[in-house]
Structure 1
Amino acid sequence: MVLLVEVILLERHYLHDLAPGYDRDQVLADLMTEYGEDVWNFAYFLTRKSHAADDISQEVFLVVYNRLYTFRGESTVKSWLLSITRNKSLNYLKTAFIRKVILVDVLTNRTESSPSPEAVVFDRMATKELWDCVMRLPLKFREVILLHYHYGLPNKEIVLLLQISEGTVKSRMYRAKNKLSAMLTAQQEEGKYHEGL
């Protein structure tokens, strides 16, 4: 616990006291190395599109580069980056153009020729079945599950990132777990049914 607090304090100190003379390119490279995969994965989990996650990740780090000296240390660097990622992802999802593209993808049933980033990400996770269910959750439930279990953020940081009350975080977490449990139970029952045929 003490080590975690020291790491958080070091993160805050490092960026909070960043003077204009520091090499922003090097700081950005460090941040991309440390958090690039987290940013891409979170963007992918929210948008469900690998090309969107690529674009959003680039936008996030461009924003970070331009706002590097505005980091106030009120949260961890990871929370700050995930907050920017969330905002960019939600903006992406709101555009009418994207909705049309998604509809075209569904109607034409396009598939990617190379292994999808989704498959790569799920291979790294403990169980594909669970994460398939997580991906089917509505966005407000999916993001609290991801932030808590995948990114390890405590409720207080989720509150700051999503700008909702702690009670709402707990409620969404409870409802998300119930929905996941129901989905997993239904999948198991369906699997037993198919095995019996």
Structure 2
Amino acid sequence: MIHIDQMTPSDLHDLMNAFGQDVWNLAYILTRRHDLADDIVQDVFLKAYSSIHTFRGHSAIKTWLLSITRNTSINYLRSAFVRKVTLFEWINTKESSPSAEQKVMEYTFSSEIWDTVLKLPIKLREVLILHAKYEMTTKEIAAMLQLSEGTVKSRLFRAHGRMAAYRKESALYE
């Protein structure tokens, strides 16, 4: 059991085992980069470890961690360093062949649904993932993203509409 006023290394290990994959998945979905997702996971758990005393218990710990993950991911995407590194990697990887690990990861994430989800703008993608994958209610999503419930419902509606349009479009080309 984690004590809200303090966290031991054992508690951190338990949190990482319980929620590490969820944190990584959300970080990857938001950034679309494996290396950034790895870095973000480390940052999220370091932040959780150092600021557990700020957890008020108004939501589940998982929701709190996913909120930290979202904010950290957005900060990474906004940083000039990431934009420069992304461009540099894009230029360099065009000339080299992918590693075996990259091929396996691409195969793992190559399902048609995930490809379509990743095409969505981040605002639509994040509400859809939080609702569908993490089974959060619109109220929980609104609290996490600091939006009104109406905005969350609107984004979910638009996300579902875009997904249907993408599926219809891809069916035309088959």
Give yes or no for TM over 0.5: yes
Residue 67 (structure 1) shift: 1.1
Structure 2 residue corresponding to 1:112, chosen from 70, 81, 98: 98
In 2: Cα distance, 1:56 partner to 1:143 partner: 16
Structure 2 residue corresponding to 1:143, chosen from 91, 105, 126: 126
5+ residue gaps, structure 1? 1-13, 192-197
In 2: Cα distance, 1:162 partner to 1:121 partner: 29
2:155 is aligned to 172
Q: TM-score, normalised by structure 1?
A: 0.80
Alignment partner of 1:89 is 2:76? no
Q: TM-score, normalised by structure 2?
A: 0.90
In 2: Cα distance, 1:129 partner to 1:94 partner: 28
Stretch moving more, 60-69 or 97-106: 97-106
In 1: Cα distance, 2:55 partner to 2:108 partner: 29
The percent identity for this pair of structures is 46
Residue 122 (structure 1) shift: 3.0
Structure 2 residue identity aligned to 1:140: K
1:194 is aligned to none
In 2: Cα distance, 1:50 partner to 1:58 partner: 13
Residue 68 (structure 1) shift: 1.7
Task: Check 1:120–1:27 CA distance in 2 against 1; reply closer, same or farther (3 A cut).
Answer: farther
5+ residue gaps, structure 2? none
In 1: Cα distance, 2:58 partner to 2:139 partner: 12
Task: Check 1:28–1:115 CA distance in 2 against 1; reply closer, same or farther (3 A cut).
Answer: same
Stretch moving more, 180-189 or 23-32: 23-32
2:41 is aligned to 57
Number of equivalenced pairs: 171
Structure 2 residue identity aligned to 1:60: V
Structure 2 SS opposite 1:45: helix
Larger radius of gyration: 1
RMSD of aligned C-alpha atoms? 1.9
Structure 1 SS opposite 2:147: coil
Task: Check 1:19–1:140 CA distance in 2 against 1; reply closer, same or farther (3 A cut).
Answer: closer
Structure 2 SS opposite 1:115: helix
Stretch moving more, 176-185 or 106-115: 106-115
In 2: Cα distance, 1:91 partner to 1:18 partner: 26
Contact 2:5 2:52 in 1 (8 A): no
1:43-84 per-residue CA deviation (whole Å, 9 max, x = no partner) reads 011011111011110000001111122211011111100000
